[in-house]
Amino acid sequence: MEKNIMSLTMYQASIPSFARMLGNLSAILDKAATHAKAKKIDPSVFINARLAPDMYPLSRQVQIATDLVKGCAARLAGMDVPSYADNETTFDELQARIAKTVAFLQSVTAAQIDGSEERNITLKFGPKEFHFLGQPYLLDFVYPNFHFHLTTAYAILRHNGVDLGKMDYVGSD
Amino acid sequence: MEKNIMSLTMYQASIPSFARMLGNLSAILDKAATHAKAKKIDPSVFINARLAPDMYPLSRQVQIATDLVKGCAARLAGMDVPSYADNETTFDELQARIAKTVAFLQSVTAAQIDGSEERNITLKFGPKEFHFLGQPYLLDFVYPNFHFHLTTAYAILRHNGVDLGKMDYVGSD
């Protein structure tokens, strides 16, 4: 465990946590793919599974979770947000999206993120705009939304019988 | 929105976010109680609902979510962790637990929490001990676990037909 922490920074509160949680998500999806293979279940059953008819399926949960953190890293750093096609339909494709997102996160440096507490952030959802400062964007928007989609992905798989435990979600390193 | 943010602190990254998310949880449980009443469903059906046979029911999700943040606030501040009886079986009792937790969070000051990045934190689960420093305890343990149980509570209710949307989870203020 890192002993030389100093003061909490915007970088520490974002990029390493995001990368760590995406690593856990990747391991969870691997377990789901292995389970599907062992039980001879078409993997698309899991990829398209939902907890309620008007909730997103597993694939979309992974897409949104990755969108949230690539968007956060880019916006806090003042960069353009990378655009992904949202066309993943297999476990391998979802894994590739996660790996691409982690690589992007790791390309952003602490120097780019630190000091972004008061950076002006604008999010556009169709015609609506939402304005945040960097710190509440991270704490009140990205964090809850990111964990919401990660947990929902986990819960979809648990509900469908994949043998996972909370340590798979939280990680143990 | 707060304009005078300065640098991210351990207090800002914990107590206000926790209180806000517990407020959202309270509103979600209110909607579930109202739904049960309108549909003449015994509220205990929701209180005892689970997403999988070996996942905790709604009541326990709320208990653990509140435990995580009262534990975090107390440990970062170097105080004894308040002990709750874990005997809630109704929506009113769960609401009382949430209100009690929020009141405790609000009793802890920024001066008590700030600077706790390297505070030694020990968690005991039965015979096992886990050692953290304050910052990784907050970022890698409390945050993922707290959101995990909040989202699972939400997902249990969504899966059981309560009319909720993600704005109920994330909040809109």
B122: its two tokens: 């020990």
| Residue A172 sits at the chain B interface (C-beta within 8 Å) | no
What are the tens digits of pLDDT across the range B44-95? 999 999 999 999 999 999 999 999 999 999 999 999 999 999 999 999 999 9
Helix, strand, coil percentages in chain B from 3-state DSSP, rounded to 5: 60, 5, 35
Residue B138 has a pLDDT of 97
Query: Which three-class secondary structure state does DSSP give residue A62?
Result: helix
- The answer to which of A60-64, A127-131, B97-101 has the lowest mean pLDDT is A127-131
What are the tens digits of pLDDT across the range A78-136? 999 999 999 999 999 999 999 999 999 999 999 999 999 999 999 998 899 999 999 99
End-to-end CA distance of chain A: 9
Q: Which residues contact B94 (CB under 8 A, 6 or more apart)?
A: B29, B47, B59, B62, B88
pLDDT at B2 over 50: no
pLDDT at B118 over 60: yes
What are the tens digits of pLDDT across the range B7-52? 899 999 999 999 999 999 999 999 999 999 999 999 999 999 999 9
Task: Give the nearest chain B residue to A116 (CA atoms).
Answer: B7
Residue A2 has a pLDDT of 47
pLDDT at B1 over 70: no
Give the DSSP letter of residue B90.
Answer: S
Mutation for testing the A interface, residue in B3, B5, B7, B8 having most A CBs under 10 Å: B8
- The set of long-range contacts for A54-62, using a CB threshold of 8 Å and a minimum separation of 24, is A55/A152, A55/B158, A56/A152, A57/A156, A58/A153, A58/A156, A58/A157, A59/A88, A59/A89, A59/A94, A61/A149, A61/A150, A61/A152, A61/A153, A61/A156, A62/A25, A62/A29, A62/A88, A62/A94, A62/A97, A62/A98, A62/A149, A62/A153
Residue A66 has a pLDDT of 98
B100: its two tokens: 């009690």
pTM of the model: 0.94
Q: How many CB pairs under 8 A join A and B?
A: 122
Residue A3 has a pLDDT of 46
Give the HSE-up count for residue B53: Cα atoms under 13 Å, Cβ half-sphere. 3
Q: Which residues contact B144 (CB under 8 A, 6 or more apart)?
A: A21, A147, A169, A170, A171
What are the tens digits of pLDDT across the range B124-152? 988 999 999 999 999 999 999 999 999 99
Residue count of chain A = 173
**Cβ separation B170–A55 shorter than 8 A:** no
Binding-face residues of B in 88-117 toward A, CB within 8 A? 117
Residue A1 has a pLDDT of 44
User: Is residue A57 within 8 Å of A47, Cβ to Cβ?
Assistant: yes
Identity of the residue in A10, A132, A152 whose CB atom sits nearest the CB atom of B151 = A152
d(CA A33, CA A31): 5
Q: What is this model's ipTM?
A: 0.93
